[in-house]
Structure 1
Amino acid sequence: MPALAFAAVVGLVLAGALPPVDQQVPGTPTATVAAVQGNVPHARNLPDLLRATTVTANHAAATERLAARVRAGAAPAPALVIWPENSTDLDPRLYPQVYATISAAVSAIHRPILVGTVLQDPLRNAGQLWLPGSGPGAIYVKRQLVPFGEVIPFRGLLAHITSLVALQPVNFTPGHRAVVFRIGKIRLGDVICYEVGFDNLVSSEVRAGANLLAVQTNDATFEMDGQRGETLQQLAMARIRAVESDRAVVVASTTGVSAIIAPDGRLLAHTSTWRRAELEARIPLVSQRTLADRVGSWPEAAIVTLTLAALAWAAAAAFRRRRREPDRQR
Structure 2
Amino acid sequence: MRLLAVAVAGFALYAGSPPRELWWLAPPAFAVLAFAVVGRRARAGFGFGLLFGAAFLLPLLGWLQDFLGADFGPWPWLGVVLVEALFFGLAGAAMARVSRLPGAAVWMAAVFVAAEALRSSVPFGGFPWGRLAFTQAEGLFLPLASIGGAPLVTFAVALSGSGIALVALRIRQSPRRWAGGLAAVLVPVVGGLAVLPSIGTAPQEGTARVAVVQGNAPNLGLGLLYADDELRANHLRAAHRLADDIEAGRVAEPDLVVLPEQIGDWGPQRVDPELDALASRLGVPLVVGGLSEDADGGFRNRVVEWEPGRGAAEEYVKQHLVPFAETIPMRPVARLVSPFVDRFREDMVAADEPGVFDVGPVRLGVGICYDVAYDDVYRGAAREGATLLAVPTNNAWYGHSEMSYQQLAMSRLRAVEHGRAVVVAATSGVSAIVRPDGTVAQQTELFTAENLSAEVPLRSERTVATMLGSAPGWGLVALGAGALLFTWRPRRGGKG
Report the TM-score when normalising by structure 1.
Answer: 0.84
CA deviation profile, 1:14-39 (whole Å, cap 9, x unmatched): 65654451334575400110111111
Q: In 1, are the aligned partners of 2:387 and 2:420 still within 8 Å (CA)?
A: yes
Q: Deviations over 1:93-114 (max 9, x none)?
A: 6897xx2322222222221111
Q: Match of 1:76?
A: 252
- Deviations 1:138-182, CA, capped at 9 Å, x for gaps: 110111111111111244x75899996434311111122112111
Which one-letter code corresponds to 1:3 in the other structure?
P
Closer/same/farther in 2, CA of residues 101 and 290 from structure 1, 3 Å limit: same
Matches of 1:290 and 1:137 in 2, distance apart? 29
Q: Deviations over 1:217-240 (max 9, x none)?
A: 1011112xx32x211110000000
Shift in CA distance, 250/162, structure 1 to aligned 2, threshold 3 Å: closer
Structure 2 CA distance for aligned equivalents of residues 95 and 204 of structure 1: 26
The answer on whether the counterparts of 1:33 and 1:282 sit within 8 Å (CA) in structure 2 is yes
CA distance in 1, matches of 2:408, 2:489: 42
Aligned to 1:283: 456
Secondary structure of residue in 1 paired with 2:266: coil
User: How far apart in 1 are the matches of 2:335 and 2:413?
Assistant: 42
| C-alpha deviation, 1:136, in angstroms | 1.5
SS at match of 1:2: coil
> Is 1:60–2:231 an aligned residue pair?
no
Matched, 1:252 2:425: yes
- In the alignment, the residues of structure 1 paired with residue 335 and residue 453 of structure 2 have an alpha-carbon distance, to the nearest angstrom, of 50
Mean Cα displacement is larger for which, 39-48 or 53-62?
39-48
Q: What CA distance in whole angstroms lies between the structure 2 residues aligned with 1:166 and 1:71?
A: 44
Query: 1:125, 1:141 within 8 Å by CA — same for their partners in 2?
Result: yes
Q: Could you tell me which residue of structure 1 aligns to residue 266 of structure 2?
A: 91
Distance 1:145 1:45 in 2: 19
What does residue range 1-330 of structure 1 map to in structure 2 within 5 Å?
A: 2-4=101-103, 6=105, 13=188, 15=191, 18-19=194-195, 20-24=197-201, 28-43=205-220, 51-88=227-264, 90-91=265-266, 99-121=272-294, 122-155=298-331, 158=333, 165-223=341-399, 226-227=400-401, 229-311=402-484, 313=486
Where in structure 1 are there 5+ consecutive unaligned residues? 325-330
1:37 and 1:253 in contact (8 A); partners too? yes
Distance 1:300 1:110 in 2: 43
Please say if residues 201 and 435 of structure 2, whose CA atoms lie closer than 8 Å, have aligned partners that are also in contact: no
Please say which of residues 290-299 and 248-257 is displaced more in the overlay. 290-299
- Per-residue CA deviations over 1:16-68 (Å, capped at 9, x if unaligned) read 6544513345754001101111111223586966x222211111111111111
More moved, 239-248 vs 298-307 = 298-307
Quick one: structure 1 residues 209 and 160, their matched pair in 2 at CA, closer, same or farther if it must change by over 3 Å? closer
Higher strand share: 1
User: Is the 1:56–1:102 contact (alpha carbons within 8 Å) kept by the matching residues of 2?
Assistant: no
1:257 aligned counterpart, secondary structure: coil
State how far apart, in whole Å, the 2-side matches of 1:5 and 1:123 are. 49
Gap change, CA 1:7 and 1:160, over 3 Å in 2: closer
Indicate the RMSD between aligned Cα atoms, in angstroms. Answer: 3.2
Query: Which letter maps to 2:274?
Result: T
- C-alpha change, 1:151 and 1:45, in structure 2 (3 Å) is closer
User: What residue identity is the alignment partner of 2:215?
Assistant: G
Q: Which residue of 1 aligns with 2:35?
A: none
* SS of equivalent residue, structure 2 residue 416: helix
TM-score (norm 2): 0.57
Q: Aligned partner of 1:2: which letter?
A: L
In structure 2, runs of 5+ residues without a counterpart are: 1-99, 111-158, 160-183
2:452 alignment partner AA? L
Q: Quote the Cα distance in structure 2 between the aligned partners of 1:160 and 1:256.
A: 29
Q: Is the 8 A contact 1:57 1:101 kept in 2?
A: no
Shift of the alpha carbon at 1:300?
2.6
SS of residue in 1 equivalent to 2:102: helix
Kindly provide the amino acid, as one letter, of the partner of residue 108 in structure 1.
R
Matched letter for residue 91 of structure 1: W
- Local SS of the residue matching 1:3: coil
Equivalent residue letter for 2:213 = V
Shift of the 160–267 alpha-carbon distance from structure 1 to 2, 3 Å rule, reads: closer
Given that residues 61 and 105 in structure 1 are in contact (C-alpha distance below 8 angstroms), is that contact kept between their aligned partners in structure 2? no
